[in-house]
A and B are shown apart, each in its own frame.
Chain A
């Protein structure tokens, strides 16, 4: 009797001892350079896709990035509020916008966001993330490929500067992906840095019969290299998330 009682107690206690700790969620918010794609569009790949396998089982990546979105349209389409609502203490929000905010051409007026609004929108994301005791991480927009005389050129100057300013003012972790990706392209050089992008000869890949010459969007290789740079940036910032990077399986 006493034994059964003890066992019952033990089982009851165990139920409480089981850590109620849920997985830490890492929300990715941003644009086409980060988002998930259907396999029918392969090799087109957002860096959020390879990024998912970089963490151990205590972390869950939720890639909410969407092609064509600026900070403004991400908000106006009600893509932010559901994230803000579900954020828990210790979660992360990695934000990378700029490509569509900065698009001044008439055909992109639906997404264009002046720097001043871009800044206030990012500050809103930061404030509402912190209100939930979650951790905002600012990421400057990943570079496009543009070389002049063999030198990789800045392609997001104004908006990247704004992100730096906000990070400084609000003391958030900052990953300067614009610079890191440009350095990667510089190291590969003008001829081979194209290997990172959606550049295909006609007939090379069935999904793009006419070929592709895209200086903004990454292929599977480029997306992984960019995801590696973001991971490096997390480590450099010393965020706790960097302690939960997946450990290699011993052979």
Chain B
């Protein structure tokens, strides 16, 4: 009899699989993407963001350098996401940098950009996942009087419009990151970007002045903004933010 119970228990336990993790899918461009070692210290904000949650969450950073809303789908990067989306998963969508530049092959007209975002949102919803729209994170651009300049105004406005129309949570990362750049000012904001003098870092022997891509610090600051907004939106995801066990 005892033997039977043991078998029954074993049999039942085979069905109580470990709780499935909620996935947070990140789709977007180089400002989010995980970088190869050869590109360090360039860092996408999805890299530090992956550390922000407890063990019930898995961050799937699918963002790729150079992609627009159009090329991300065209190259088959969206299909594996939609195929694996589960109920309750999140899809954080941040595009614009490569959509808005007319000279790039990835250029996407305002109309197409809007339609593409609507499709990402609707397809996420059809899987009972939760889409979250983000305006494109700011570039470092100041006018001569030290005032930060928007560089995505038209496309950020489109993101806000789609979020409102489809009642999708919106993280206005463009606005929030511009505010951070303004607080730091033209000079100190360089500490957030991949700015290197010649000889500083082996990966960039000639140095680098990049006002679009972040270093480790900038990427983390952007990730922290996204996290703060997730809390402000009171998304259920905010209840799964990592909590340290012991006080350090």
Contacts and interface: CB of A to CB of B under 8 A. Distances in A.
A30 interface: no
B14 interface: no
Contact of A246 (B48, B202, B220, B241): B202
A181 to B, nearest CB: 14
Nearest to A43: B220
B3 interface: no
A205 B37 contact: no
Contact of B51 (A39, A53, A231, A248): A39
Nearest to B206: A248
B191 A209 contact: no
Interface stretch (A96-104, A136-144, A169-177, A218-226): A218-226
Contacts of B7: none
B203 A208 contact: no
B227 A206 contact: yes
Contacts of B248: 41, 208
A132 interface: no
Contacts of A205: 220, 224
Interface string A123-166: 00000000000000000000000000000000000000000000
Interface in B168-219: 188, 191, 199-205, 215-217
B38 A219 contact: no
A206 B241 contact: yes
Given A206-B227, A228-B201, A248-B204, A221 B244 contact: no
Contact of B203 (A192, A219, A220, A248): A248
B203 A42 contact: no
B242 A206 contact: yes
A207 to B, nearest CB: 5
Nearest to A54: B202
Given A221-B191, A248-B38, A249-B38, A207 B216 contact: no
A192 B203 CA distance: 25
Nearest to B220: A43
B128 to A, nearest CB: 27
B96 interface: no
A220 B220 contact: yes
A220 B242 CA distance: 19
Contacts of A204: 224
Interface residues of B, number: 29
Contacts of B224: 204-205
Interface in B231-248: 241-244, 248
B227 A245 contact: no
B52 interface: yes
B216 A224 contact: yes
Nearest to B223: A205
B136 interface: no
A195 interface: yes
A64 interface: no
A11 B17 CA distance: 53
Given A195-B191, A221-B191, A42 B200 contact: no
A40 interface: yes
Nearest to A229: B200
A208 B244 contact: yes
A232 interface: yes
Max chain B Cβ within 10 angstroms of own Cβ: one of A39, A224, A247: A224
B41 interface: yes
Nearest to A225: B200
Interface of B: 37-38, 40-41, 48, 51-53, 188, 191, 199-205, 215-217, 220, 224, 227-228, 241-244, 248
The 4 closest A-B pairs by CB, nearest first: A221-B217, A220-B216, A206-B242, A249-B38
